[in-house]
Homo-oligomer: A and B are copies of this chain.
Amino acid sequence: MTARKTKYLSLAERRAYHSLEDIVGCKWSAGVVASIARGVRRPGELERYIPGISKKILNERLRKLTDYRVIERQEIPDRVKHVEYRLTPTGEKLAHLIEQLQELGQQHLDSLPG
């Protein structure tokens, strides 16, 4: 980050980040993105894959992520309801950043004295 040190953090900057902060920021979101990135695409599958997440929260996140165009929802024709979510290009980049965040967190933890 280049030290610009303008008077304020611009509104645009705050909002730009905010759109992704809303995603990375709330509980489970990063896990959902990371899971989809790993190929877990169906809601029920995600629910089982991410231990502890509730149906409600999972759906809330999926909807939000879809609204942000970070993932895409597609219904697959079948006799049984079949839905799959996949990452959009932005979603993939986001997943990559989340992964780096996870790695950084891990390294950091390992380096702590306590």
Chain A residues within CB distance 8 Å of chain B: 1-5, 7-9, 12-21, 24-27, 30-31, 34-35, 37-40, 48-51, 68-69, 90, 93-109, 111-112
Contact = CB atoms under 8 A, between A and B. Distances in A.
Contact of A21 (B30, B93, B108, B112): B30
A34 B12 contact: no
B105 A37 contact: no
Nearest to A35: B9
A35 B4 CA distance: 10
Nearest to A2: B38
Contact of A4 (B9, B15, B38): B38
Contacts of A95: 1
**Nearest 8 A-B pairs (CB), nearest first?**
A20-B105, A1-B37, A16-B106, A3-B39, A17-B102, A16-B105, A90-B108, A19-B105
Nearest to A40: B5
Contacts of A3: 37-39
